[in-house]
Structure 1
Amino acid sequence: MLPPPPLLLWSLPASRALSLLPPSSTARDPEDARDGVKLPPDAAASVKLRSFAQNAAVPPRRARRAASPPRPPARALRPAPSGPLSAAALVCGQVHKRSPRVRAVEDHSAAAMAAARGLWVLVLVLGAGLQAGVEACSCHPAHPQQLFCTAEIVIRAKISGEKIVSPSNSSSPYMKMIQYEIKMIKMFKGFDKAKDIQYVYTPVFSSLCGVKLDSNNKAGYLLSGSMWSDGRISIGQCDLVESWDNLSLSQKKNLNYRYQMGCECRINTCYTVPCASTGENECLWTDWLLDNSLNGEQARQYACIRRSDTSCSWYRGGPPPEKDFLDMTDP
């Protein structure tokens, strides 16, 4: 048997409404039993009726709550984002999702820091490169004939002694020079500038293109250089300075007249292809392109000379003899 609706019970007298309630609903109120208080019949009926109405209204609400799906567990907080702004928010006790403006500022800050680190690395690399460049001597690639034609003095000589001198009143070590005492064997160029040469000078430091010569070299050296205003001869790494034994026979012969015959010709160094001649008075030097060396076959065997038709071309000369006996008379 279903209980009557609560609204219907409230419209009836208390005694009549109480008679319509099921037996379980007319039990004595637990609170009354606990307190030991006896109520009049009408008052007790009113209490029972009020209790039934309240209990009849509550179960549907509780049922709806029980039927509703359980709430999902609270999501765990994501790790705090990195960056100066997020760190400040954590210090203040605020953990929130970064706005696009905040993310843009943080990204800009991170990019600026990365650029600063890259700039420092670039400065260090460039500094090391500049230091390496300062500590090294750099010379423009040149064929031996070019070095011969641009030199003021070209001789063959032996080294008999050396000492450190200062050509000026400066106390700087970079101004000091090595004075090599030489014994000249033969002069190939510079007859009009010097009759006899006793000393040649070179910077002390190789970074300033100074050269080291050995007095124990019995065959001597091929030396080329320039003349200072006071008549002293200066030599360096960018000049034609080579041990005489390292020269080929063709180079020794070319020193006599062939190199001089071609000083009006132009030698163009080929580094890449295509490499084309720009005129008839030009010879293409391809040692670096073919052999990746500046001391290839053209440098050791050929001379660029002017022909009778005023054009220039490479000339090698006759085949070398079977025995190197010409070194006694030829240079």
Structure 2
Amino acid sequence: MPERPTHPDIHVRPLTKADAASLAALFDTCGWRAEAEAVRAGRSAPLEPSETTIRWFAERDGHPAGFARVSRDPYVEAGRFNLEILVPPSQRGNGLAHALWQVASAEARGRGATELRASVRDNDPLALAFAERRGFETDGHTFESFLDLETFEAANHPVPEEIRIFSMADLPDDEVSRRKLWRLNDWDLEAGEGACRSFEQFTRDVFEGYWYRPEGQIVAAIDEEWVGLSAVGMTGEAKGYNMMTGTVPAYRRRGVATALKLSSIEWARRQGARQIWTHNGSHNEAMLSINRKLGYQPVPGWLRLKREI
């Protein structure tokens, strides 16, 4: 299918700090509630272009009608960039996404990109078709699910007594504690494989992140060994989100992940959440099985995409 030419009334420009209110409103329109709240509360990353990230608005008649972001994780291999394009359903088909794609992909190339990563909802065939026309291929599937906290009964899921649970809020906020979390999160859970950040980069990404809450970093220990981690936060007035749960390989199948999941659920309940949400890759059958046993209900997830450039 030939590309739709960019509409002459569409203007694409980088964001500035003055765009916070407009960005939050656009996120609200697209259902990105947590992102909108973070922008309004001043907890989001700076909006101005940086060494690793640049954001744009696509405007029609002087009003923001679409958004794009190109970013690079500094600890992954050189050349891999992430791309997001967001256009409200009411604005689709007007050339906004294509205009944003042209600017964002050119910027990524100019910054040395050799590969773009993106994602689309698995129940959004129009977004998938848009990406496929631009050379993206499916590279994985992330499932999303939620648990109703008003009916969940933790007593139905006993935890082995050898597992001790605590959070980073229970420890001194010093370099010793922070390095232990870094080691657990970036090395032990992956058995030393994959792209592991330096401690300095981990500090910038996690401890200095707008989203970081020490009480939401929940650790499992057996004896004195840190053996598992769960990260949980609130993404709305009554909605918790379990961002990740992992167990050190040598301690798997001992109830550690279930204990962490239960602690995340109870933490969300104490914050007033009526639901807790999570996501898992299609390859992680063990965690998907735990979620099913706890009563998580599946909802539409995400297709992970990639494109070489």
- Sort the TM-score into its range (normalised by shorter chain): under 0.3
- Name which one, 1 or 2, has greater alpha-carbon Rg: 1
Instruction: Looking at secondary structure, tell me which structure has more strand per residue.
Output: 2
Q: Normalising by the residue count of structure 1, what TM-score does the alignment of the two structures yield?
A: 0.21
Q: Normalising by the residue count of structure 2, what TM-score does the alignment of the two structures yield?
A: 0.22
Instruction: Looking at secondary structure, tell me which structure has more helix per residue.
Output: 1
Greater RCO structure (CA 8 Å; 6+ sep): 2
